[in-house]
Structure 1
């Protein structure tokens, strides 16, 4: 065995076997293999839980989408395979494409409002004093923590036709025609209330996280910008925004996913009415599947919804990655 020089790291113990080349000892090799496998072992519980809780239901939904299943087949436990018939019916009808366009527009409007207002409030938090910041943060956390159905119920009461607070206030302010206005009587007014609800619920996430991101910006950069004569707008453009850009991209990505699948708010507020004019894809899949008892059809719509969401998010991620490469 070779003797290491004084003051040097001997490294893994090597053993000579006869006159052949030196090889690492079995103990060192075993430790190296264990070290290499550690990250995968730590990820294994999360991967297994994801496959069980998400992967298996997704596979079952995909299998169901190739079947004709209603209450008769369900009770008799009869499996009727129809191939791509459900997908042909869905993609061949105009209703699916109208709901898809409505869902994309609904998501776009909500995400724009959420990111704009949430970013402004987040920047405001960074400029407020400690007491006012804590007070505003408590209000944001309370709004964020309210359960979705509870918040939807509160908005139903606020915008109620006869005894709603909103109609009462508008009537007192001079808009007497709003005294008995029904916010659920038209597509536009229903979407207005639902949008307000979703934006109100989503702003705290954006604002709090953006405020947390502003705390990572070094103060020296603002001092250097002020010494160069930069005003508030130039400081924001050249210092604040470059640091916040990755956060804004990641948050927008999450908000697109969250708003696109906002089933609870839309269904609980008015069940997709009036006349199914406020249905978005998750609500459309539920009503066709559970409401009309066309379970195979509902499964096909839900799987197509997943594909559309994956397409939207992959397109957005491609833009983000391309911009990241350009910056490098």
Structure 2
């Protein structure tokens, strides 16, 4: 069992399979992109499968595949097929921007993927282009329709950005009237490859929720799932629901059950902290399963209580200027 020093059971891994992405969302990376990792720097699929197998044996029950954009990495579906067969893995989910995803939805269903997080910051095509620097909204909507058609749970992730898409909050909430989707509004974080855009965060979770309540005063709080990162609500009569994620305010950190592996193989026990070790380097140096387990238990045993503590303890202050593509979305 993976237990941190605060007695929390760690059973959720977010695995980034690549830092590359086919969009250029301004809140994630500069317009020119990033200095992409070389192929030899990335964990191979075989290394990913091995470390995931070790972690599942130690109590990891859920794995979310992230990027970058997972579907831009070659042979991704082959890797996903093998990963889905890990004995003991109870839940396999994906976060994607949806541009390349639609053709693979039937196969995702066959693999047992029950939930997909789809990045969708706006329903307006012009604003989508302004935010992502790519004209790909129709493909994202096609992916959403395909996922719903195949009865895969859809969570729409919208990063709320002052002066960019606050006019989209209510249209996105309106989607939940007729569609069984969960629309989650996320506070903007500083991980954009450039540093934060603002000296303070105007559109925090309170402001987002108040904006929704002005239009839907009868919106009701619904129970949050264990370890939920979102505060969840539902408008009476709507098929879907609404969540607000205090990603910058970090008010949900106390129940954290998550760890991350970056494309480089760096283990992060907190999004706001430093990488605590490199499992890729350990594997390439010949570490066996017992050594990997010992290293993982030691690192996770030191996990901070929340993101504020992790940030205070961070030695690499520049990590807050990193991109989510290199950390793992």
Structure showing the higher helix proportion among its residues: 1
Task: Identify the TM-score tier after normalising by the shorter chain.
Answer: under 0.3
TM-score normalised by L of structure 1? 0.21
TM-score normalised by L of structure 2? 0.21
Structure showing the higher strand proportion among its residues: 2
Question: Bigger radius of gyration, 1 or 2?
Answer: 1
